[in-house]
Amino acid sequence: MKLTDNVLRSFRVAKVFRENSDKINCFDFSPNGETVISSSDDDSIVLYDCQEGKPKRTLYSKKYGVDLIRYTHAANTVVYSSNKIDDTIRYLSLHDNKYIRYFPGHTKRVVALSMSPVDDTFISGSLDKTIRLWDLRSPNCQGLMHLQGKPVCSFDPEGLIFAAGVNSEMVKLYDLRSFDKGPFATFKMQYDRTCEWTGLKFSNDGKLILISTNGGFIRLIDAFKGAVLHTFGGYNNSKAVTLEASFTPDSQFIMIGSEDGKIHVWNGESGMKVAVLDGKHTGPITCLQFNPKFMTFASACSNMVRNWTLSSSE
């Protein structure tokens, strides 16, 4: 089934999960779309079965906390950042709840984590103003970049380049094989003093980059030329919350949650808003992602995950 404006308007909440006692700070779908994993400020990691629509198991990271959880290529391992004690990234086997490896190095909170879509490489960005490049097979940092400010970063869908957003005003593109030579492209944006960048994502076709902010707008830019194609606004975010924005898997639509619990969807080509979905969330929707393989998406607020599917009338 193809996603269209009408199809997006007909999504409804199918399931509500209340496994958490505190804010859900991140979730990630497995590459095959069969499971989704969440991390929360209550130190829990919850694994959900997308096909059966129910939680499968809960693990805890009480000592170090858990944030920015990401699947690796194996469906039973994840990496995540810590939000207590230290800023080490941890590599966890879900199968037996044992750590496989630690990745120490950052000296302040990790605010960006992106797994390569093709191999065991991942990158992390931290408030210590560095981006580090890692390989799952080694605890040692494979590359280090010093920046002028807080970074956001992400791999492109082919895993050949990564983008770094620096100081909320420029996007730098690096070739993974020669990133130490510096960026091969730099796109300077209009600096907006009212907010800062909180996320950066490539579309699945690699042609677009989505920049999230903690203000009332997100930006869609051309991944090759750096031109701003659209600025999307009109959703509530008065308290400067970090709201996750996402592409649909076909790269055609952009969605973000809002402070008042509604989800706003735009057509990436026309720039027109095509839907506002009300999931009756009680607080800001901090996490929002579309399933990479199935016609569902998930949204999360303070302590609830909602699983959305097409309404039965469609």
Q: Say how far residue 45 (Cα) sits from the centre of its chain.
A: 16
Provide the token pair at 136.
């799952």
pLDDT score of 279: 81
> Which among 88, 118, 85 has a CA at the least distance from the CA of 101?
88
Per-residue pLDDT tens for 163-222?
999 889 999 999 998 888 999 999 998 888 888 999 999 999 999 999 999 999 999 999
pLDDT score of 314: 37
Provide the token pair at 21.
């006692």
Percentage of the residues of the chain whose pLDDT score is greater than 70: 98
Task: Spell out the SS3 assignment of 175-218.
Answer: EHHHHHHCCCEEEECCCCCCCCEEEEEECCCCCEEEEEECCCEE
Domain boundaries along the sequence of the chain: 5-309
- Element of type H or E holding 162: strand 161-166
> Which among 61, 134, 72 has a CA at the least distance from the CA of 104?
134
What's the average model confidence in pLDDT over 306-312? 78
What's the average model confidence in pLDDT over 101-119? 92
Integer-rounded Cα Rg, in Å, for the chain is 18
What's the average model confidence in pLDDT over 239-243? 88
pLDDT score of 289: 94
Least confident of 59-73, 192-206, 210-224, 266-280: 59-73
287: burial class by Cβ within 10 Å (0-12, 13-18, 19+)? buried
Residue spans of alpha helices (H) in 120-263: none
Q: What is the pTM of this model?
A: 0.92
Q: What is the C-alpha separation between 188 and 194, in angstroms, rounded?
A: 17
CATH class of 5-309: mainly beta
Residues 6 or more apart whose Cβ sits within 8 Å of residue 254: 210, 218, 220, 232, 245, 246, 247, 248, 265, 266, 268
Band (pLDDT 50/70/90 cuts) for residue 263 is very high
Q: Say how far residue 156 (Cα) sits from the centre of its chain.
A: 13
**Predicted confidence (pLDDT) at residue 313 exceeds the cutoff of 70:** no
